[in-house]
Amino acid sequence: MHIPDGYLSPATCVAFGAAMIPAWTTAVNKVRNRLKSSYVPLMAVGAAFSFTIMMYNVPIPDGTTAHAVGGGLLAVVLGPWAAMICITVALAIQALLFGDGGVWTFTANCFNMALVLPFVSYAVYRLISGSSDLTASRRWIGAAAGGLLGLVAAALCAGVELGLQPILFHTANGVPLYCPYPLSVAVPAMLLAHLLIAGPMEAVVTALVVRYLQSHNADLLSIQTLSSSQPTAVSYRRYWWVLGGLIVLSPLGLLAGGSAWGEWGAAELKKMLGFIPSGMQRLAGSWSHAPLADYSLPGVDNFWSAAIVYTFCALLAVGIICLLTYLFARFQAADRKEWR
């Protein structure tokens, strides 16, 4: 679902930036004011989980691939505003360090996956679960439905954004300047991959984790409503062990051949279309120095070497996420102390 650089016009990216800046500002303020300091480490787990789960590419019948995001689960546990921050951090690391997604299109990717996905997921979850007990079946059913519909909504937005490009931005002869696929192609392609494969994957993962929390730590499903005076003895060790297992198994994502729909590089697109849209050609190489582009290194030419590098990339990203979360926690603690 990542939109690479060159697929959207600069004007489109700036428009999404204008929408995301107030959203990010609101998210940071709400998290600082509502989420207790003892639960901030859970944001590190959440952001690391989102990053890692996106490394698990799954094949789509049309020859492309797709992946879950984990946004529905983060919205259920942390709330949509904290989920926005977690996914934004994961997307920023992907774009800057691994060249996954784009720098120009970062704001659009955040709009789809960090804003639309968690908020739609949370709305569906709250609609179905209502005021039911934390251990009620309606909770995990609502979480599963929210994960599915949230991811599909984000995919629909991406399809519309891509499909509008040849309508809005083209030469005098009608040749697209950026994404060359119209709405009639982009929207069905994005919906097919995420409604049939990635969406159900997101739903299953969300439901399983919520069901586990209901049995072992149901309080985590209500952390948004806890007051700062309530006890906060929480251990995240088991969740880090699960995350470690996901990191070790992450090379399974390399087994799915092909690129995700709409994430082809300029060279791939030229083979498919016979040309590269001029605007895309100008922007596609704007960030061509990602240190670990495509989660790999030059000269890596066999699966086992690629698997080692892929796992290292996951570990590196999780380390960066932990560092950023630590800095955020220190900032939050200092800010609260200042205002006492």
Q: How far is it between the farthest Cα atoms of the chain?
A: 66
pLDDT at 338 over 50: no
Q: Which region holds residue 182: left if phi is over 0, alpha if psi is between -120 and 50, else beta? A: beta
Give the model's pLDDT for residue 281: 86
Classify 82 as helix, strand or coil.
helix
Q: Are 34 and 334 in contact (CB under 8 A)?
A: no
Q: Measuring CA to CA, which residue among 5, 96, 42, 12 is closest to residue 234?
A: 42
Ordered by where they begin, the domains of the chain are: 10-246+279-338 (1.10.1760.20)
Distance (Å, whole) CA 104 – CA 12: 10
b/e code 309-338 from CB counts within 10 Å (16+ = b): bbbebbebbbebbbebbeebbeebeeeeee
- Which run of H or of E encompasses 88? helix 80-98
pLDDT at 340 over 50: no
pLDDT per position as a tens digit, 159-216: 999 999 999 999 999 999 999 999 999 999 999 999 999 999 999 999 999 999 999 8
pLDDT per position as a tens digit, 257-304: 778 888 888 788 888 888 889 888 888 766 667 888 889 888 888 899
Give the model's pLDDT for residue 206: 96
Residue type, 45: V
User: What mean pLDDT do residues 241-261 have?
Assistant: 89
Give the model's pLDDT for residue 230: 47
pLDDT per position as a tens digit, 76-107: 999 999 999 999 999 999 999 998 988 999 99
User: What mean pLDDT do residues 142-155 have?
Assistant: 97
- Which run of H or of E encompasses 66? strand 65-66
Percent of the chain having pLDDT more than 90? 63
Exposure on the CB side of residue 125, measured as CA atoms within 13 A: 31
- Other C-beta atoms lying within 10 Å of the C-beta of residue 339: 6
pTM: 0.92
User: What mean pLDDT do residues 309-329 have?
Assistant: 91
pLDDT per position as a tens digit, 19-56: 999 999 999 888 877 666 667 788 899 999 999 999 99
Q: Which of 63-77, 100-114, 164-178, 230-244 has the lowest mean pLDDT?
A: 230-244
Distance (Å, whole) CA 106 – CA 114: 11
Structure tokens belonging to residue 174:
């009608």
pLDDT band at 334 (very low <50, low <70, confident <90, very high): low
The mean pLDDT of the chain is 88
Give the model's pLDDT for residue 325: 83
Angle at 51 between CA 120 and CA 112, to 5 degrees: 30
pLDDT at 231 over 60: no
DSSP structural state of residue 4: P
Q: Are 102 and 280 in contact (CB under 8 A)?
A: no
Give the model's pLDDT for residue 287: 63
